[in-house]
Structure 1
Amino acid sequence: MRVDCLKARAMFCALLLLLLISPGLYAQVKTGVVKGLISDNNNEPIAGASVVIRNTTNNFTTGTSTDSAGMFTFPRVPSGGPYSFTFSAIGFDRQTLSGYMIKDDATTSVMIKLKDSAETIDQVVVIGYGTQKKSDLTGAVSTVSAKDFSGQAYSNVNQALQGKVPGVEFTSTSGEPGAKVQVRIRGMGTFGNSGPLYVIDGVPFSGGDINTINPNDIANISVLKDASAAAIYGSRAANGVILVTTKKGVAGKPRFSYNGYYGIQSVNRKIPMLETPEFAALVNEADQNGAFAPQPAFNNPENLKTNTDWQDASFPSSSIHDHLLSISGGSENARYSVSGGMLNNQGSMVFSFLKRYTLRVNSQFNIGKKLVIGESINLTRSHGLNLGYGNNLDLAYMLGAAPTMKVYKPENLGGYAGPNQAETGINNRDNIVGRRDNNRNYTTNFNMLASLYAEYTILPGLKYKLNLGLNQGLYTGKTYLGLFQMDNRSNLRQRLSMYRNLNAEYLAENTLTYEKTFNNDYAVNLLAGYTEQNGDYSSLSGSRQDFPSNDIQVFDAGTGPSVIGGNRAEWALRSFLGRANITFFKKYLLTATVRRDGSSRFGSQNKYGNFPSFALGWNVDREKFMDAIPAISALKVRASWGQLGNQEIGNYESLTTISTTPQYIFGSTQSIASAAAVLSLGNEALKWETTTQTNVGIDLAFLNNRLNFTADYWVKNTDGILLRTPISGATG
C-alpha cells in the first residue's frame, strides 16, 4: 500500500514538473512581427484589403485585412522563411511579394502599392462561361466595377449602369419606386422583346425582375454587345447580354462592412397651373364666349375660397433609405461572403411605396488540389403599394381636377371630397388622392436565384465544371375596391381581386475548358459545353364582390358573384456550345464561337438553330515599331462577324390554340351554350429570328492607360422577325 502511494506521489510530481517546464518549452519558439501599409497609385490607403502570409517550408498560413488607414499587422510570425505575401482588394489587381525572411524579435515592414485594375490592359474581364484578359478580347465588351457606382444612391441594377456603358440606352419607364428600366443594347433589334439577356453568377435570368438584385452586392458587370462576345449564348443573345457577378469572399480575418443612406425626395419642377381666381375667370370667359349659362360653382364667393394645388396634394415629400450589412473572410481553402440589405422607398406620388429585403450567401471551398465547389444564393422579398397600377390615368386626373374641389370632406363615406356641380361645375375629374386610397393595389414578391457548382482539374490545364442553377419566383397581388362616396363619385359594391404567379427555371450546365501556353508564343483557350434549361410557369387569379366590411378582405367573406381563372406553361432549351481563343505571339488574336440551340417554342421542322461567330484582333502596341511612340500605352484593332438568335415568343406559338371561353346563342329560345374557338393558327415551320452583326473596333490608351478611348462601328440586321398576324374577329 505504501509503494502504491509513493508511485502515485512520484507521478503527480512528474506531471507538475512537466506543466512548469512546458511554458518554457513553448517560449523557445522564436517569432517576429510584420507590419505593413497598402496604398493605391495616388498614395491613398486601401481599407479592407486582404493580406495572406504563407511559408511552404513550415506550412504556416494566416491572413488579415487592413484597417481604415490601410495598415495591417501580424503580431506573431515564426522566424525563418522564405515567406510570401499575397495582397488583394476589390477593384485592384492581386499582387504577391516573395522571399521575405522573418528575424527573431524584430519587426519586418512591408509597403506596397496596388495597381488599379481599371488602369491595366491585363485586367481580367468576365465573359460568357469564363474570364479573359482585356488585352486578349476580340469582341465589344464594356465592364463596370463596384467602385464605379459606390457611394451613390441606386435602388436597382439598371439605374447603376445608366450613363456608364457606351452604346447602351437606359430609359426609365416610370418614376415610381422600383420601376423597371428599359434597356436597349445597340438600339431596337426586333418588334417583340428587345431587352438583353441577364446572366447572374452564371445563371441566365430570363424570367423575373432584375431589380431583385441589390446593387450593393455587385462586384462587376460585363456588357456583351457584339456577336463575337454574345454568340456563346446563342438563341437569347440577339439583343445583347449583361453578365452580373456578385461579391465573393477573400482570404483573411472576418471583415464587416456597412453601406447605407437616408434621403428625402420631392418633385422640384411642377407644371404651372391656374389658381382658383384665374381658373374661375377663364371658365366664365369661356362660357360667355360660347353663349353658355354661367356656372354657379365659379361665381360663388364662398366656393372660390378653396384653392387646392393638386400637385402638392399628390406629390408629398417622401423618404428613401437603404442599408446593407455584410461580412466576408476565410482562408485560402475556404472563403465566404454574406450580406443582408433593406430598402424602404416611399413613392413621390401619394399612397405608393416599395420595401425590399435581400439576403446573399456566397462561399467557395478548395478540396485538395483538384476540386473546387461553391454556391451563390440570392434571396429577395419585396412588398409594394400601387406600383405600375393606373399611374398614367392618375396623372391625367391630377392635372385636370378643379382647384375649387377640396381634398377631404369628413361627411362623405371614406372622408374624401369629389367633383360635384355646386363646387366644380361641369368639371368631373376625380379626387386623385381619394381614388388611390380607396382602390389600393398591393404586390408581394419572393425570389430565389441560386447556383451550385463544382470544378475538377482532370489534367494540368484541363478542367470540367458542373453548374446547377435555380431561378424561382412567387408573385402575388391584391386589389381591393372598398365602399366610398366622393360626392358624385361613389362605389357601393366592394370588389376583391387577387392573383398568384409561380415561375421556376432549372439549369444544368456541363463544360470542359482547356488552357495552355506553348513556348510563351502561342496560347489556346478551348471551351466545349452541353446545357439544358427548362421553365415552368403557372398562374391563378380570382375576384369576388360584396363584403360585409372594408376591413374584411378575404374571398370567403364575400357574398356576391365570383370569377376564377388560371393557366400553366412550360418551355425547354437544349444547347451545345464551343469556343476557341487563340493568341499568337501575344499580338494576334483569333476567336471562333458556335452554339446550337434547340427550343420547345419552335415547330418540329426548325427545332434547332446554329449561331456562329468569328473575330480577329491585333495588339498593335506590341509591335517593335510602336516603341517609338511611348505615349501610346495600348492599341488594339479588332473585327468580328456573327449571328445571334431570338426565341422570345409565346411558348406555344407553333401550335394551333383553342379557347373554351367563347359562348354561342342557339335556337328560338336564345339559350347560351359553351363552345370552343381557334384563337391562333399553328405553324410547324416556325423558325428562328436571326440577327447578323458585323463589328469593327479600336481600343486605344494613352499615358500609361490613364486615358482610354474605344470606338466601334457596327452593322446589325435582323431577318425572320417573329410577329403573329392577328385573326380577324369578323371573318376568322
Structure 2
Amino acid sequence: MKKNQLDWLSWEWLIKVMFLLFFSIGTTHTTWAQSQLKITGNVVDTQGEPIIGASVVVKGTSNGTITDFEGNFQLNTEKKGSLVISYIGYVTKEVTIKPTLKIVLAEDTKALDEVVVVGYGTQKKSDLTGSVTSVKAAEITAVTSNNPLESLQGRAPGVAVFTNNAPGESPILRIRGAGSIQSGNDPLYVVDGFPLMNGSLNDINPADIASMEILKDASSTAIYGSRGANGVVLITTKSGSTGRKNLSVNASFGIQSAARLVDLLETNQFIPYINEAYENRGGQAPFKHYTPTANTDWQREAIEKSAIVQNYTVSLDGGSENTNYMMSLGYYSQDGLVKNVGYDKLTLHSNLNHNFTDWLTIGSHIQMAYSEKDGNNDVMTGLFQRGWPTMPVYNEDGSYYVSSLDPIHSSYIEGNFNPIADINGTTATNSSFRALGDIYAEFQLLKNLKFKTTWGADINNIRKYSYTSSQTATNIATNGTGAGNNAYHRNITKLTENMLTYNNTWGNHRFSATGVYSWQEYTYEDMSMSATGFENDATGAWDMTLGDRNSLNYESTKYSNKLISLTARFTYAYKDKYLLTATGRYDGSSRFGDYWWLAHFSRFCHLQIIDIQQYYETMYRDTNP
C-alpha cells in the first residue's frame, strides 16, 4: 500500500513539474516575442537605385539578412540597438533600429582610387590585374619589433611569417608557400626601388616605413624576372609633408618573460624514476648506493626570469612648395631570455627631394644602420636530454662542475655537460654597419612623358668575433686553452636605373607605358682567421698572434657578378571595366654562358570588372522567371 502511494505521489509530483516547466517556457516565449520588433527597410545608392544583396546585420550579433531585387529587407530583432549595412564598393553605414528605415549608401571611391606601389611605379587599386596586398604604416607600427616583416603576420593573405624570438634574428617569409626544395624560397625585397642583395630587413626601422606591398602572382612579379619567382616585397619609406613641419617622438618599453617553462622533476622524484629505468633495461641503477644532494633546474639556471625590450624613434619632416624632407633617428634594444644574449641597433634615415624647375626634380634616399648581436643560443642544445637535476652548477670550491669529471654521472651523461659554464665562457659578437642609398633626377620631358635616372649603392660590412675560453665545460675537462675566430664580410651592390614613363587619359581610355634599363653589380668579399692555444682569456682572440702559430688558419674569397635588364610594361583601361596589362623583361647576367647570356620573362593579363549590380539583377531574373 505504501509502495503504491509513493508511486502515485511521484507521478503527481512529475505532472506538476512538467506543468510548471511548460508554463514558464510559454511565458518566456510570449515575453520574448513581445520584446521583438519587425523591421522593414529599403537600401539604395545616392542616385536612388536599389542595392541588391546588401548585408543587413544587427550589430554585435549574427542576426541578419540581405536585400532583395528592389533593395528591400525584413528583419526581426530587439527594439534597441543598431543595424550595420554593408556592400562591396560602398561605405559601410550604421543606423539606429526603427520600424521603418530608408538607408542610402555612398560609393567608397577612396578604396577604389587608393594608389599602391607596384614594380617600377604606382597604380590605382582598381586597375590592378595581379595579386597585390598593401600594408600601411599604422599596421606596421602596431607591432613593436625589430624587423618590419613581423607586422605582416595575419595581415597579408597568402603570406606566412615564421618568427624567431631570439634577439636580432630575422623572420622567415613565404609567399604562397615554398616553390623550391633545394634553391632558396625567400622573396625579393625592394626598398625605395632598390633591390636588396640579401633577404634581411633588420637594418630598417619599421617606424620609417610608409607602406609595404606584397606582389604574389606571376602577373605582378614578372617585371622583376626570375628574382621575383618567390614573390616580391616592395617597401616605401616615409617622406616629408608639404606645408608643415612635424616633430614626433615614439617610445616603447617592455618586459618579456617565458610564457611557459617545462615542469621538470626534482631530485627526489628523478632518482627512483631513473633507477627504475636503467634496471628495467638490464643496466645498473645510477643512484642505488648514493643519494646526491644537488637539486638543479638547469632550465631556470640558463633562462632569465625577465628581459627588457625598448624602442625609440625621433623623426622630423616637413616641406615647402618645392622641397620635402624627412629625417629620423631610431634605437632598438632587446635583451635575450637566455643569459648573455642581446641585440642593439641604431638607425638613421633620410629622404629629400627638391623641385628645381617645372621640369627637373632631384632627390635622395639614405638608410644607415649599425647593430650588434651578442650571445649564442646553441648552449641550450641537449639541456633537457642531459640536464639531470642530480648535478650541481658549481663544485664546493666554487669552480664549475663538469659531468665527465664526476664518476657518478660520467657513465650516463654523454660529453662534457655544464651549459652555464658554456654560456659564461663563450663570447660571440656580430657587428654590422650598413649604408643603403641613392640619388635620382626626374625630368618632365613632355606633358605626359617623364624620364628618371637613379644611381645607388648598398654597402654592408659585417664583423664576426667568437672566443671560447678555457672555462667552458669541454676545456675544463680536457685542460684546454682558448680558441677564437675573426671573420670579415663586405657586400657591395651598385645600381644604375633609367626609366621612361608615359601616362595619358582621354575620354573613357587610360593608358600607361613604362620602360626601364637597369644595371646592377654585386661584389662579395670574405676573410676569416682562426686559431687555438690562447693562454690568456683576458686578451681573447683579438690578437691572433697570441694563439698557437701552428693552429692558425686563414682564408679569403672575392667574387662578383653583373645583371643587365631591359623591362617594359603596358597597361590599358577602358571605362574602368576592361583592363589589360602586358609585361616583358630581358635579363643578361654574367652568370650565364657566353652564348646564352640573355633570358626572357613575359606575362600578359586581362581583367574584366564585373558589374555586380547587373550580376545580381540577372541572377534574380534567372531564379524568378
TM-score by length of 2: 0.77
Asked whether the equivalents of residues 412 and 486 of structure 1 are also in contact (C-alpha less than 8 Å), the reply is: no
1:326 corresponds, among 301, 315, 319, to: 315
Secondary structure in 2 matching 1:576: strand
Secondary structure in 1 matching 2:230: coil
Aligned to 2:568: 578
Asked whether the equivalents of residues 208 and 473 of structure 1 are also in contact (C-alpha less than 8 Å), the reply is: no
Deviation at residue 540 of structure 1 after TM alignment = 0.3
1:125 aligns with 2:116: yes
1:522 aligns with 2:509: yes
Asked whether the equivalents of residues 463 and 488 of structure 2 are also in contact (C-alpha less than 8 Å), the reply is: yes
Specify every segment of 5 or more residues in structure 2 that has no aligned partner in the other structure, as ranges.
1-105, 619-625
1:264 aligns with 2:255: yes
1:2-13 pair list within 5 angstroms: none
Secondary structure in 2 matching 1:351: coil
1:198-597 pair list within 5 angstroms: 198-207=189-198, 209-296=200-287, 299-301=289-291, 303=292, 305-316=293-304, 317-386=306-375, 389=376, 391=378, 394-409=380-395, 411=397, 415=400, 418=403, 420-422=405-407, 424=409, 426-428=412-414, 430-484=417-471, 486=473, 489-518=477-506, 520-553=507-540, 554-561=543-550, 562-597=552-587
Secondary structure in 2 matching 1:272: coil
Q: Sort the Cα spacing of 1:528 and 1:291 in 2 relative to 1 into closer, same or farther, 3 A.
A: closer
- Aligned AA (2:364): E
Deviation at residue 291 of structure 1 after TM alignment = 4.2
1:568-717 pair list within 5 angstroms: 568-621=558-611, 625=614
Secondary structure in 2 matching 1:509: strand
Deviation at residue 419 of structure 1 after TM alignment = 5.0
Secondary structure in 2 matching 1:230: helix
Asked whether the equivalents of residues 186 and 199 of structure 2 are also in contact (C-alpha less than 8 Å), the reply is: no
Secondary structure in 1 matching 2:528: strand
**How far apart, CA to CA, are the structure 1 residues paired with 2:334 and 2:214?**
28
Asked whether the equivalents of residues 412 and 485 of structure 1 are also in contact (C-alpha less than 8 Å), the reply is: no
Deviation at residue 126 of structure 1 after TM alignment = 0.4
**How far apart, CA to CA, are the structure 2 residues paired with 1:559 and 1:118?**
73
Q: Sort the Cα spacing of 1:461 and 1:624 in 2 relative to 1 into closer, same or farther, 3 A.
A: farther
- Aligned AA (1:579): R
**How far apart, CA to CA, are the structure 1 residues paired with 2:289 and 2:434?**
57
- Aligned AA (2:431): T
Asked whether the equivalents of residues 261 and 323 of structure 1 are also in contact (C-alpha less than 8 Å), the reply is: yes
Q: Sort the Cα spacing of 1:402 and 1:560 in 2 relative to 1 into closer, same or farther, 3 A.
A: farther
Deviation at residue 117 of structure 1 after TM alignment = 10
After superposing on structure 2, the runs of 4+ consecutive aligned residues of structure 1 that deviate more than 6 Å are 115-118, 626-629
Describe the superposition over 1:16-64 as per-residue Cα deviations: whole angstroms up to 9, x where unpaired.
Answer: xxxxxxxxxxxxxxxxxxxxxxxxxxxxxxxxxxxxxxxxxxxxxxxxx
**How far apart, CA to CA, are the structure 1 residues paired with 2:497 and 2:428?**
40
Deviation at residue 284 of structure 1 after TM alignment = 1.6
Secondary structure in 2 matching 1:478: strand
Deviation at residue 416 of structure 1 after TM alignment = 5.7
Describe the superposition over 1:484-543 as per-residue Cα deviations: whole angstroms up to 9, x where unpaired.
Answer: 26497355221111100000000100010011112x211111111111001000100001
Describe the superposition over 1:75-125 as per-residue Cα deviations: whole angstroms up to 9, x where unpaired.
Answer: xxxxxxxxxxxxxxxxxxxxxxxxxxxxxxxxxxxxxxxx99995111000
Return the structure number with greater strand share.
Answer: 1
Describe the superposition over 1:619-649 as per-residue Cα deviations: whole angstroms up to 9, x where unpaired.
Answer: 334x8847979xxxxxxxxxxxxxxxxxxxx
Deviation at residue 418 of structure 1 after TM alignment = 4.7
Asked whether the equivalents of residues 146 and 220 of structure 1 are also in contact (C-alpha less than 8 Å), the reply is: yes
Asked whether the equivalents of residues 141 and 151 of structure 2 are also in contact (C-alpha less than 8 Å), the reply is: no
- Aligned AA (1:324): T
Deviation at residue 212 of structure 1 after TM alignment = 1.1
Specify every segment of 5 or more residues in structure 1 that has no aligned partner in the other structure, as ranges.
1-114, 630-732
Deviation at residue 428 of structure 1 after TM alignment = 3.9
CA-atom RMSD, angstroms? 2.4
Aligned to 2:50: none
- Aligned AA (2:230): N
Deviation at residue 293 of structure 1 after TM alignment = 3.7
Secondary structure in 1 matching 2:545: helix
Describe the superposition over 1:659-712 as per-residue Cα deviations: whole angstroms up to 9, x where unpaired.
Answer: xxxxxxxxxxxxxxxxxxxxxxxxxxxxxxxxxxxxxxxxxxxxxxxxxxxxxx
**How far apart, CA to CA, are the structure 2 residues paired with 1:501 and 1:410?**
45
Aligned to 1:179: 169
Asked whether the equivalents of residues 299 and 383 of structure 2 are also in contact (C-alpha less than 8 Å), the reply is: no
- Aligned AA (2:393): V
Asked whether the equivalents of residues 484 and 490 of structure 1 are also in contact (C-alpha less than 8 Å), the reply is: no
TM-score by length of 1: 0.66
Secondary structure in 2 matching 1:176: coil
Aligned to 1:97: none
- Aligned AA (2:406): Q
Deviation at residue 286 of structure 1 after TM alignment = 2.6
- The count of residues paired between Structure 1 and Structure 2 equals 505
**How far apart, CA to CA, are the structure 2 residues paired with 1:627 and 1:369?**
49
**How far apart, CA to CA, are the structure 1 residues paired with 2:384 and 2:364?**
49
**How far apart, CA to CA, are the structure 1 residues paired with 2:484 and 2:396?**
25
Deviation at residue 258 of structure 1 after TM alignment = 1.4
- Aligned AA (1:289): N
